[in-house]
Structure 1
Amino acid sequence: MKNILYLFVLVGYFAFSQVPNLGIVEYQRIINNPGGVSFGTAYRLYFDAERSMYKRMGDAKRINKNEEQSYGSEGQQVTDKILKSSLPFSYYYTNTKDKNLLFRETIVQKSYIVQDSLEVIPWKLEEDYKEIGEYECQKAMAKYRGREYIVWFTTEIPVSHGPWKLRGLPGLILEVTEETGKYEFRATKINLSPDHEKVKEELQKPKTKAKDIIGFDGYKEVIKNKAKDERAMMLASLPRGGKSLEGCDICPDPNNRSLERFE
């Protein structure tokens, strides 16, 4: 009887250990604008061992108040007022087993659903460590989509996910800084005992129609034209006689307006 009981407990433990890692992480995506003003936008990452869904949860909120600066719904500097959008929020869905990356973004007041690819990010692991919350994290660096990133990840949560499209390390990415200082991602809350059904529901591939999806080449063209299109939108919104600031000391760099930069 003892042998049977021992076998039952052992099998039960083995089965439990094979359950894929599930979790929910709250992040702040921070955009640091010229003039010392920063905005944070709340995002939430749902994940298991193979899939992740990173989705925006609300509008940007001012971190440092500066009445002379004005920003859009994700914190980008655009006009003399904060623009609200009725378009659906952005998301980034990945499936490492199927090599699938599908995302939705709003660019110049238009929503795009884009079929992307899971590129191998050439991470270089550093021998630097620090504590973030209760987790020991290791430093890594890489260049990806026109920007260089410094990230901190923890192998105590052994999944290869992270905020936005950043992934591919032997642990969850908790903190990100970008070379120009414009963009940051910071985990603010981690739940490793979530409602499993809720996570599984969020990890279903978004339902989309083929006609609504654009390829990555089309997306790159939209990004390349973003600064020009934003300027046209800004000029159209100015009151009669209004002027835009160009060439000023605190004007946003037109080449630094998108997270991904393409030549």
Structure 2
Amino acid sequence: MKYLFVIVICSLSIKNFAQDIETEITDGVIYNFTHVLDTADREKAIKEQMVLFYSKSASLYKSYKEILDGIERNRRYAEAESKGLGSVNTSGLKPASGNAIFFNYPIKQLLEYKRILSKKYLVTNDSWNIQWTIKNETKKIGDWICQRADCRFRGRNYIVWFCNDIPYPFGPWKLNGLPGLIMEANDDRSEVFFKFVEFLKPGANGFESAFALPKNYNSVTQAAYKKLVKAYYDNPDLFSNPNAEATVVAVDANGNTPVFKKPVPINNPIEKSDH
């Protein structure tokens, strides 16, 4: 069965973006994502499960844990409101960042939905262009025979394994454009990994509403977003307003509202260049 999701992008001045994009999700795949944040201490790494939903022409990539935690968060808020409580314990739940990557393959458009605390942005990736070198080498991943392809993208050399038997040109993160679904990828320094876990059928377990892309984002270029990130590192208080217009306030396990600490810069970003 296929499931319908509608992505509405409003009030954008960028050509071809101010339109409704409607497509049917064909399937989804879960990856284990690892990113070493500090080359001097490889234990400092992001480790998270991510999910890619795809159709014939488009894909949506976001945090799988955030989807699951969003469902649980909504349950807790609804319960708190029904009981007339003024706060809800959100400890153990991943913050609702709203971050996602949308790729429209026919017109080669890649959009990133980003959030810096309470501020939301739609970042256009105008420089997206991957030149793949497809190799003859193959290996088996799960039940699938996959073929190797290499590329240099955003300052890293990637080795990926795609499946010709799953003819969709998508993959994790921003790795797209091959003749089959990317099942596994890593950079040649072993600092970034995307590993296939399993396929996921959209619509299962009440996920339908979780797949809608966030609305009311400010459209910015990559260059403008980098300036915003720098401003955030310099003064995060300018971006914080976690409980604006909330009828139920989020608190931690001790009943305290979140305290925003100055973020620690990452010395090994996943993107080392703009190309």
TM-score range, shorter chain: 0.5 to 0.7
Change (3 A) 1:169 1:118: farther
Give the aligned residue type for 2:33.
Answer: R
1:86-165 correspondence to structure 2 within 5 Å? 86-106=95-115, 111-117=120-126, 119-165=128-174
Change (3 A) 1:31 1:152: same
Alignment of 1:31 onto 2:40: no
Aligned to 2:50: 43
Give the aligned residue type for 2:104.
Answer: N
Q: Is the radius of gyration larger for structure 1 or structure 2?
A: 1
User: Does the 8 Å contact 2:25/2:202 carry over to 1?
Assistant: no
| Cα displacement (A) at 1:213 | 1.6
Tell me, in whole angstroms, the C-alpha distance in 1 between the residues paired with 2:117 and 2:216: 22
For CA contacts below 8 A with separation 6 or more, give which structure has more relative contact order: 2
Alignment of 1:261 onto 2:272: yes
User: Does the 8 Å contact 1:87/1:110 carry over to 2?
Assistant: no
Aligned to 2:219: 213
User: Does the 8 Å contact 1:53/1:202 carry over to 2?
Assistant: no
User: Once the two structures are superposed, what CA deviation does each residue of 1:121-142 show, in whole Å capped at 9, x if it has no partner?
Assistant: 1011112111000111111111
Percent identity of paired positions between Structure 1 and Structure 2:
26
| Cα displacement (A) at 1:58 | 2.5
Change (3 A) 1:194 1:110: closer
User: Does the 8 Å contact 2:34/2:194 carry over to 1?
Assistant: yes
Question: What's the TM-score, normalizing by structure 1?
Answer: 0.62
Tell me, in whole angstroms, the C-alpha distance in 2 between the residues paired with 1:200 and 1:48: 15
**Structure 2: unaligned runs, 5 residues or longer:** 1-23, 67-91, 238-259
| Cα displacement (A) at 1:160 | 0.3
Aligned to 1:173: 182
SS at match of 1:217: helix
Question: What's the TM-score, normalizing by structure 2?
Answer: 0.59
Change (3 A) 1:146 1:97: same
User: Once the two structures are superposed, what CA deviation does each residue of 1:57-102 show, in whole Å capped at 9, x if it has no partner?
Assistant: 227xxxxxxxxxxxxxxxxxxxxxxx98734242101111343221
Q: How many residues align?
A: 199
User: Does the 8 Å contact 1:138/1:154 carry over to 2?
Assistant: yes
User: Does the 8 Å contact 2:65/2:94 carry over to 1?
Assistant: no
Aligned to 1:184: 193
User: Does the 8 Å contact 2:32/2:50 carry over to 1?
Assistant: yes
Give the aligned residue type for 1:216.
Answer: Q
User: Once the two structures are superposed, what CA deviation does each residue of 1:27-71 show, in whole Å capped at 9, x if it has no partner?
Assistant: 111123543424421111110110100111227xxxxxxxxxxxx
SS at match of 1:27: strand
Give the aligned residue type for 2:224.
Answer: G
Tell me, in whole angstroms, the C-alpha distance in 2 between the residues paired with 1:110 and 1:49: 32
Give the aligned residue type for 1:112.
Answer: Y
| Cα displacement (A) at 1:153 | 0.6
| Cα displacement (A) at 1:185 | 0.7
Give the aligned residue type for 1:218.
Answer: A
| Cα displacement (A) at 1:202 | 7.3
User: Does the 8 Å contact 1:108/1:230 carry over to 2?
Assistant: no
| Cα displacement (A) at 1:104 | 1.9
1:10-29 correspondence to structure 2 within 5 Å? 22-29=26-33
More strand by percentage: 2
